[in-house]
Structure 1
Amino acid sequence: MPTRSKPTAAPNAATGPHPFAHLAAWREQAELTQEQVANRMGVSGVTIHRWEAGKAPVTVPNFIELAQLYGATDPAQLMFPPAARETAAALRRAHRVLSSLPAKQATNWLTSGEDLAEAFGSSAGDTSREK
């Protein structure tokens, strides 16, 4: 019997915006209507509306297909507004760097980054820094 992908967790109003709050913005940036997306994916327009509204969970395969339709290079980008696509890419790069370093070097790397951000007037170098 084939296994089915489990849908993502249903949204919880107590936790703030649902995890798919930016799907409509991505769709609009791709200049697609809900019906066009539905037709390409073989689902109903109501399904697309329910995903975008956080009223129905999106399976992992459907989430990956949405990312492809919307031109995202990584499905995780759909969790951010389309304008933040560079931020998502930068976070992935930073994670790769941090994952490759021993703890002390990772801390030094982060401190250097905070110092640079502070020097350029960013709020990234805030008081939450570990010493």
Structure 2
Amino acid sequence: MTTFPAVTHVAVTVTDLGVSVPWYKSLFDAEPVLDEDTGPFRHVVFLIGGGMLFGLHQFPGATGTVAFDPRRPGLDHVAFACADRAELEGWQKRLDDLGVTHGGIVDAHYGSGLSFKDPDNLALEFFAPPA
């Protein structure tokens, strides 16, 4: 074990798969590769760029009604890699075409990001390294 392994999957908990699955299908332009009820929760999983899996979990009887807040300990956001700013601009157009509200491209010395939120207010981002 000389190098730290890559991330293979991310799973987020959502309040309503009936809302989130179509939203993510549009975002990823892909169908789920798995949809199963495991007993404790149901999950729907997408295979996205680079072979990474992105899962949506819904727990029966979920009690959380407080909106996602990145200032609360836990997940802050999930970022999807873009090769460069031109690719990032392409994703901005795609979000516009999908009617997804976003914060516009923000440039910084460490790279450029395009932030947006899913139906549960989970923070997502497309990110490109500096030019």
Into which bin does the TM-score normalised by the smaller protein fall? under 0.3
Q: Given the two structures, how large is their TM-score scaled by the length of structure 1?
A: 0.26
Judging by fraction of residues, say which structure has more helix.
1
Judging by fraction of residues, say which structure has more strand.
2
